[in-house]
């Protein structure tokens, strides 16, 4: 398997622009997680899905952030409008129902820079 | 609440042992994990320990768990420069169905040649 695929790997945009990050989970995995990593705040869970349904979005910082999972093989995280403080590395991770181990498999991340 | 704490930096000489420590708050976690993040990459599961175990050894890695003190440690024997990375301690509290993993801030390990 190719692992979790994220695109783009790097994104540079200007404040106020819309940004869309994409993720393809590992085939057969039914959980998908979006994280944000910064030096100041470490690794933060933004939202996670089970069978394409959002389960917990309490980590989504503001209404400017939205996430969708239209099918089992694709998810997006959208920021509109983007702000400089959104600059971070965004990770997507997936796992399958293997309780209680539930190992998460991370993608390589998207490094977002908002100018 | 759910919280995982670990020191932010550790520096060792090549060939020495590294010990990374972590404390967690939720005693309901069935598994506790160590993830490794190399530069420019995502996190990767390094090892895990079942909560009813005190120790787990896997080649150069030794995980020690003290449930009473809610303390987890990772020992890397004969540390190599390739071990330089960020190491995350993590737990999955059963109250979340075990699917929401709580990560610590990560310990950045520097290995000096």
Task: Identify the CA nearest to B26 among candidates B112, B82, B100, B106.
Answer: B100
Q: How far is A42 from chain B (nearest CA, A)?
A: 5
Does residue A106 sit at the B interface (CB-CB below 8 Å)?
yes
Does residue B17 sit at the A interface (CB-CB below 8 Å)?
no
Does residue B56 sit at the A interface (CB-CB below 8 Å)?
no
> pLDDT at residue B101 above 90?
no
CB–CB of A93 and B42 under 8 A? yes
CB–CB of A103 and B92 under 8 A? no
> pLDDT at residue B84 above 60?
yes
Position A103 scores a pLDDT of 83
pLDDT in tens, B10-69: 999 999 999 999 999 887 877 899 999 999 899 999 999 988 899 999 999 999 999 999
Position A92 scores a pLDDT of 97
Q: Is the dihedral of CA A87, A92, A93, A96 positive or negative?
A: positive
Gap between the Cα atoms of B4 and B1, Å rounded: 10
Q: Which of A30, A50, A101 to mutate to test the interface with B (most CBs of B within 10 A)?
A: A101
DSSP A93-110: EEE---TTT---EE---E
Q: Are strands A5-7 and A19-24 parallel, antiparallel or unpaired?
A: antiparallel
CB–CB of A48 and B42 under 8 A? no
Gap between the Cα atoms of A95 and A72, Å rounded: 12
Instruction: Give the residue on B whose Cα is nearest the Cα of A109.
Output: B42
pLDDT in tens for each of the 115 residues of chain A? Answer: 689 999 999 999 999 999 999 999 999 999 999 999 998 888 999 999 999 999 999 999 889 999 999 999 999 999 999 999 999 999 999 998 765 567 889 999 999 999 9
Q: Is the dihedral of CA A66, A6, A31, B30 positive or negative?
A: negative
Position B1 scores a pLDDT of 54
Taking the C-alpha atoms of A61, A63, A69 and A75 in order, what is their torsion angle to the nearest 10 degrees? -60
């Amino acid at each position: 398997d190719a692992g979790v695929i994220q695109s783009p790997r790097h994104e540079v945009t200007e404040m106020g622009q819309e940004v869309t990050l994409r993720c393809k989970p590992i085939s057969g995995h039914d959980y998908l997680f979006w994280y944000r990593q910064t030096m100041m705040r470490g690794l933060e869970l933004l939202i996670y899905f089970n069978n394409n349904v959002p389960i917990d979005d309490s980590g989504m910082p503001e209404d400017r952030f939205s996430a969708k999972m239209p099918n089992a093989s694709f998810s997006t995280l959208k920021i509109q409008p983007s702000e400089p403080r959104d600059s971070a590395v965004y990770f997507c991770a997936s796992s399958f129902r293997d309780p209680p181990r539930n190992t998460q498999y991370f993608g390589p991340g998207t490094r977002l820079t908002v100018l | 609440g759910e919280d995982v704490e670990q020191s932010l930096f550790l520096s060792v000489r090549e060939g020495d042992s590294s010990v990374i420590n972590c404390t967690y708050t939720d005693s309901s976690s069935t598994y506790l994990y160590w993830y490794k993040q190399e530069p420019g990459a995502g996190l990767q599961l390094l090892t895990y320990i079942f909560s009813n175990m005190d120790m787990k050894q896997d080649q150069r890695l030794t995980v020690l768990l003290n449930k009473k003190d809610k303390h987890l440690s990772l020992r890397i024997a004969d540390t190599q420069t390739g071990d330089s990375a960020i190491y995350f301690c993590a737990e999955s509290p059963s109250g979340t169905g075990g699917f929401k993993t709580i990560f610590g801030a990560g310990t950045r390990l520097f290995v000096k040649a």
